[in-house]
A and B are shown apart, each in its own frame.
Chain A
């Protein structure tokens, strides 16, 4: 029986017949209807396939890294190969998974639904963005097939411009092209959120996921062009000998680092802001309570976006930057932690006296809160100049960013996928495997990366193919964890695919959640809403009295 609000869905039938209604999945068939689609929901699914493939590739490289690091001596492959392996791992994960995943999959699918629109503002630009993404991927894949790049995903000069013997230009072009894809998506999001909100949907009635995506899009528009020009300069220096960063001509490699990190630090906020948006949605839905301090969380998103542009120098503490600049960036870096911490407090306060249920998305959300806090706190440690001088370029850094990127972003992505899977497919995933995966991911992740904090603190450098024997135990633990983590990531791919054919049909709103996206069938019709919604109340209007009723009704939903 459906418990959807009947505000805008005419004659809601049973779950079975609901599924046979025309929806965006069965509206048209055939590969052309997918590859030439203008429907944001289909484009989101196309992106889902692309980012999953790149994630698998990046994960493969991660596996190779961890295999090599099982033993102190390099025995799996040589140091040059190792350099290529960690570089390609970084490039695949950063540019082709972490940056696009939540925006291009969840953002594309949900933003028009959450603002009550029929599509994004520019559907053709949306499709173009997916094609451009894959073209960028092809350039990078080509370079992988031809041996990859060994400069680190950071492309520091003059190694990348002058001394590296790998296909730097091809990879640089791949990243350059990929940047356009992100810019197109962000442009679309900003225009949609500004101009296509449903009647009555004022800014402070928007779900926090929209606020996060808006802030993310601002960062993308202002930052991505800078890495575009920087990477173009690297390519120009290699190809045309236009030596901007060449020390032999008086050029300054530190200028490269400034320009590179001017984007790449905000890039990490591009990765975490959407994740935080997802967490806000999950915490509200599975505590059946509005987010504590909604406005503060909304402003915090914008604050993170702005402050995130002022801290990049903390990547250059030991690079040759002036001590004065180092001090300024150190203080600003501590400042940027504040809005993030505020969000963590607010999510926690939301849980308090909420009606918390332990569905899989909530497991991921709770995992996020804990792991992101650890990652964020170690970030403040790193912002402290005195500490960073010692742990820079060690595994402490590696552990820090994996805690926020993997323990943070990937957990949120998985949580969001599970939460909105019924919305996107009309199916439920199987409960037990999903909770098992969440557990494997959590345990595997901590086993992989916590030892790395200790390793870094003890002095093990990053990007090294061999290490002193006294570090082996911790490395073995880390590799063991990576194996568990890998299984945890593999399972969802399997059971999500399984659910498409055999999963229980979900009905329109299996979670009894509140939100415009839940006011339309699951899966939604192509035009999203049968009737343009009119919004008259703030988001997350969960009602205590209804909680009990809904919980009873959903007793059999995983």
Chain B
């Protein structure tokens, strides 16, 4: 029922344009040394691009709640895995160990 909606070509082209702009932006932003902020900018742009692909190209905009929930669950679980494993590494106080190339 959700797929009876036909996304117009214009919409696809606009999204394509946005994705290209994002690509250019991320390359330019990387050239500037923003320290820790580089990570956030790069990921913010990447997440935005991914959302555009998910919502428009993959038709999540017109999908059932079940589908959206499924997609969200997948990404959430990945975040869980990275987050909890990261939690171990961040709490290891390895900066206190003698440096021998770590």
Do A and B interact with each other, yes or no? yes
Size of the A side of the interface (Cβ < 8 Å), in residues, is 19
Most buried by A among B84, B91, B101: B84
Query: B92 touches which one: A194, A250, A262, A322 (CB < 8 A)?
Result: A322
Question: Is the C-beta of A324 less than 8 angstroms from some C-beta in chain B?
Answer: yes
Given A250-B102, A322-B93: A258 touches B80 (CB 8 Å cut-off): no
- Alpha-carbon separation in the docked complex, A231 to B74 (Å): 21
Given A194-B66, A250-B101, A322-B93: A222 touches B77 (CB 8 Å cut-off): yes
**Set of chain A residues within 8 Å of B80, measured between Cβ atoms:** 309-310
| A258 and B88 within 8 A (CB) | yes
Given A194-B66, A262-B85: A322 touches B101 (CB 8 Å cut-off): no
Given A250-B101, A250-B102, A310-B84: A324 touches B77 (CB 8 Å cut-off): no
- Alpha-carbon separation in the docked complex, A321 to B90 (Å): 10
Question: Is the C-beta of A60 less than 8 angstroms from some C-beta in chain B?
Answer: no
Q: Which residue of A is nearest B101, CB measured? A: A250
Question: Is the C-beta of A328 less than 8 angstroms from some C-beta in chain B?
Answer: yes
Main secondary structure, interface of A, reads helix
Query: A309 touches which one: B77, B87, B89, B92 (CB < 8 A)?
Result: B77
**Set of chain B residues within 8 Å of A322, measured between Cβ atoms:** 88-89, 91-93
Query: B87 touches which one: A254, A255, A323, A325 (CB < 8 A)?
Result: A325
Question: Is the C-beta of B81 less than 8 angstroms from some C-beta in chain A?
Answer: yes
**Set of chain A residues within 8 Å of B77, measured between Cβ atoms:** 222, 309
Query: B81 touches which one: A194, A262, A328 (CB < 8 A)?
Result: A262
| A325 and B88 within 8 A (CB) | yes
Q: Which residue of B is nearest A194, CB measured? A: B66
| B91 and A324 within 8 A (CB) | yes
Question: Is the C-beta of A226 less than 8 angstroms from some C-beta in chain B?
Answer: yes
**Set of chain A residues within 8 Å of B89, measured between Cβ atoms:** 322
13 A-B residue pairings within 8 Å (CB atoms) = A222-B73, A222-B74, A226-B81, A309-B77, A309-B80, A310-B80, A310-B84, A321-B88, A322-B88, A322-B89, A324-B88, A324-B91, A325-B87
Instruction: Contacts A222-B74, A323-B91 known; list 13 others, CB within 8 Å.
Output: A222-B77, A226-B81, A250-B102, A262-B85, A309-B77, A309-B80, A313-B84, A322-B91, A322-B92, A322-B93, A324-B87, A325-B91, A328-B87
